Amino acid sequence: MSQVLMAHGGGGELTRQLLVERVLPRLANPLLNPLLDSAILERPSGRVCLTTDSFVVQPLFFPGGDIGRLAVCGTVNDLTCLGARPLGLSLALILEEGLELETLERVIDSLARTAEEAGVPIITGDTKVIERQRGDGILINTTGIGVLPEGLDLRPARINAGDLVILTGVPAEHGLAILSVREGLGFETALASDAAPLNGLAAPLLALPGLRFMRDPTRGGVAGVLADLVEETGLSVEIEERALPLSPIVRHASEMLGLDPLNVANEGKLVIVIAPADASTALARLRAHPLGRHAAIIGQIKPSTPPLAELITAIGGRRIIQRPMAEATPRIC
Amino acid sequence: MKATLDALQRDAEGLGELRLMEVCGTHTVALFRTGVRDLLPSNVRLISGPGCPVCVTSQGYIDAAIEAAASGEVTLCTYGDMLRVPGQRGSLEALKARGARVVVCYSIRDALKYAQAHPKEQVMFLAVGFETTTPASALAVLEAARLGLERFTILSGHKLVMPAIEALLADPQADLHGFLLPGHVSVILGASPYRPLVDEHGLACVIAGFEPQQLIDGVARLVAQIKAGAPALENVYRAAVRPDGNPHARAITQQVFVAEDTEWRAMGVIPNSGLALRDEYAHFDAFKRFSLSLGADYDPPGCLCGQVIQGRVQPPQCPHFGKGCTLTQPIGPCMVSSEGTCAAWFKYARRA
Ligand code: SF4
């Protein structure tokens, strides 16, 4: 038996075997091990945060990551953005009939490694099997629970004109890596997804009183977050193209595909808004972390009517930044 | 760069309004995205011409494609940009959501791969685009023949740049001073096909690439020619464009395609402006295989795309622009396509 069968989801002996042999040993931790119907956590002090995310990605494995790694990072990062300390994740696996068990094991291994990297245990879970469909193989949902430290209040309403905008690293790596393998574009060797849990990167910033807002620029890219900011604050934001930490390969791949790196997805970056007084401290702390080496101040919040996100281009022109319509796709010619 | 911009500023001074046309969707987008438009002297106006492959495609073609997908007979492979163009029966995107087999491809090679992997399906590729994409289509047809892909066809909507420019200039209303000529297309065509623009129409012409420096150089040379009263055909994209272009790519295109009279959106039928498959490759011709014919051309109700692609109307002059017509709810192809003029204005320049 090397593939997932419908019976693996039936709740009977096969289900138990699948879990006990393939899944649980890889995820073992004291909160999960009792295998009760629900995980039991000690009541934390502070407010509780809850977030959920579902993961559907093709291909399942790509340079720099896989669906398992994404499933941990996505949810951990959503908690991180509010300043919450993640306590644990639930893991719901929806497996397609016919999925190679070896593939499942690879995904769970990666998920476990990423959870360990983040220091966040998987504390409860569920597995179902669906009939063979498109051959996507595996869908994952994770829900994360976290605790907000007292006094921390990160939201757009606290942003003021004059605050600075930080991007924690090279944008567009995840989206370009996926596009590149999916379409066989030939950058596979040079491009890797940035998928990473960011709670460790963000932790040293939480003590800074000037920290206003953090968001991970996933599918809508950095442009999507900037558009959110403008809509949610009623202020304008001005980004300096020259200040963007672009790598040569991201530049080149975006150019070839006719894509704007600001519109392409990230899975291991934060857009941070911070008061000018704390910006250099924040930048130094970010750069001291391996995931923040290329962090840069990329722009500033401006008072303005109407509220706009604008880019000062490398040659000094101005143009608008908008949330991309849909997933970025390469141009025709 | 600063020096070029200063020189451009000086040259443009006192020349009155200079109307320069770019005829390549990639130029249109690059001019906005790099901020070059924002830095040009106020009397230099860049006008987008028929350079967006999706936008110039006649509505008859779009409707034929949608018909084919709706018939359930074929799996339709298409560039993503075509998906959302509205037709009489809704868009391909809407059909896809209702279960029609529509596959988004990044290139015709993807469609070929799909056809190989699904030998039982009739796979039809919507082959649109200018001289840059035709060699790839020609190669794909040759490859399909070699592989014996019985059920692969293309619906050729390929178009040629020069006949459209000539058609624009035939309009006595066309009031243009010069052309910023497309880098990618010229890589294939070379420079010589543009000669008549200078010799017969007395227009300034510069072939340019897509980097900010290229774009600024291109505009600066156009303005310098106009100021000197000496229209010429210049090439500032020498790194990529050779005088005779890419004869090999042209030969392959000619082996597979033959020029024919073709209908453009709102511009009518332009003589020898499109490419049809030669009889030897009729087997791969979706028009013939499925007895498709092109219906009437029309703009979606209230949409001025037909005027926009001819440079007669700028997007903000359209009453729907940014109101009824946005990136999320596009009315016409110029807003749908990522290279469309309305989309570029909306994305990069809509400040209100
Ligand atoms: S703004 Fe919309 S409706 Fe107006 S011309 Fe452009 S695409 Fe057509």
Tokens representing residue B18 in the block: 């200079």
Q: Quick check: A134 pLDDT over 70?
A: no
Q: How confident is the model at residue A328, as a pLDDT?
A: 59
- The C-alpha angle B179, B171, B42, rounded to 5 degrees, equals 40
Distance separating alpha carbons of residues A274 and A167, to the nearest angstrom: 11
CATH at residue B178? 3.40.50.11750
Do A319 and B338 count as a contact with CB atoms less than 8 A apart? no
A330 in a domain, yes or no?
Answer: no
Tokens representing residue A4 in the block: 């997932």
Is the separation of the CB atoms in A154 and A211 below 8 Å? Answer: yes
Q: How confident is the model at residue B174, as a pLDDT?
A: 85
Q: How confident is the model at residue A293, as a pLDDT?
A: 97
DSSP state, A19? I
Q: For residue A257, what pLDDT band results from cuts at 50, 70 and 90?
A: confident
| Beta pairing, strands B18-22 & A271-274 | unpaired
Shared domain check, B75 and B116: yes
Q: Evaluate whether ipTM surpasses 0.85.
A: no
Q: Which has the minimum average pLDDT: A90-94, A322-326, B168-172?
A: A322-326
Q: Please state, for a pLDDT cut of 70, what percent of chain A lies above it.
A: 95
Per-residue pLDDT of A295-306, as tens digits, reads 999 999 999 778
Q: Quick check: A332 pLDDT over 60?
A: no
Mean pLDDT of chain A: 91
> Which amino acid residue places its CA nearest to atom 6 of ligand 1?
B342
> Which amino acid residue places its CA nearest to atom 7 of ligand 1?
B332
Is the separation of the CB atoms in A88 and A146 below 8 Å? Answer: no
- Terminal-to-terminal C-alpha distance of chain B: 30
B16: left (phi over 0), alpha (psi -120 to 50) or beta: left
Number of domains in chain A: 2
CA distances, A89 to each of A118, A173, B153, B192, B319 (Å): 11, 26, 49, 65, 51
Distance separating alpha carbons of residues A264 and A276, to the nearest angstrom: 27
Q: How confident is the model at residue B251, as a pLDDT?
A: 96
Q: For residue A256, what pLDDT band results from cuts at 50, 70 and 90?
A: confident
Query: How far A333 CA lies from chain B's nearest CA (Å)?
Result: 6
B340 in a domain, yes or no?
Answer: no
Shared domain check, A169 and A105: no
- Interval A145-172 mean pLDDT: 95
- The C-alpha angle A69, A60, A191, rounded to 5 degrees, equals 75
Domain range for B264 is 54-160+245-289
Q: How confident is the model at residue A333, as a pLDDT?
A: 46
Question: Ligand 1 centre and the CA of B265: distance in Å?
Answer: 13
Q: Which of B9, B31, B38 is the best substitution to test chain A (most A C-beta atoms within 10 A)?
A: B38
Shared domain check, B90 and B13: no
**A15-A21-A26-A27 Cα dihedral, nearest 10 degrees:** 40
Between residues B106 and A215, the one the model is more confident about: A215
Q: How confident is the model at residue B144, as a pLDDT?
A: 97
Shared domain check, B265 and B133: yes
Shared domain check, A140 and A286: no
Do A317 and B38 count as a contact with CB atoms less than 8 A apart? yes
Bridge partners of B154, per DSSP, are B125, B285
Shared domain check, B259 and B214: no
Q: How confident is the model at residue A12, as a pLDDT?
A: 82
Is the separation of the CB atoms in B253 and B48 below 8 Å? Answer: no
Q: Which amino acid is at B124?
A: M
Q: How confident is the model at residue A126, as a pLDDT?
A: 92
A331 in a domain, yes or no?
Answer: no
**Any CB–CB contact under 8 A between A330 and chain B?**
yes
**Any CB–CB contact under 8 A between A317 and chain B?**
yes
Question: Ligand 1 centre and the CA of A70: distance in Å?
Answer: 39
In B, minimum Cα distance to A305 occurs at B352
H or E element, residue A214: strand A211-215
Is the separation of the CB atoms in A238 and A226 below 8 Å? Answer: no
Shared domain check, B116 and B106: yes
Nearest ligand 1 atom, CA B342: 6
Q: What stretches in chain B show pLDDT beneath 50?
A: none
Q: Quick check: A36 pLDDT over 90?
A: no
Distance separating alpha carbons of residues B75 and B68, to the nearest angstrom: 9
Asked if residue B64 has its Cβ within 6 Å of ligand 1, the reply is no
To test ligand 1's pocket by mutation, which of B54, B299, B307, B308 has the most ligand atoms within 8 angstroms of CB?
A: B308
| Beta pairing, strands B257-264 & B268-277 | antiparallel
Q: How many CA atoms within 13 Å lie on the side-chain side of B180?
A: 31
Number of domains in chain B: 2
- Interval A277-295 mean pLDDT: 98
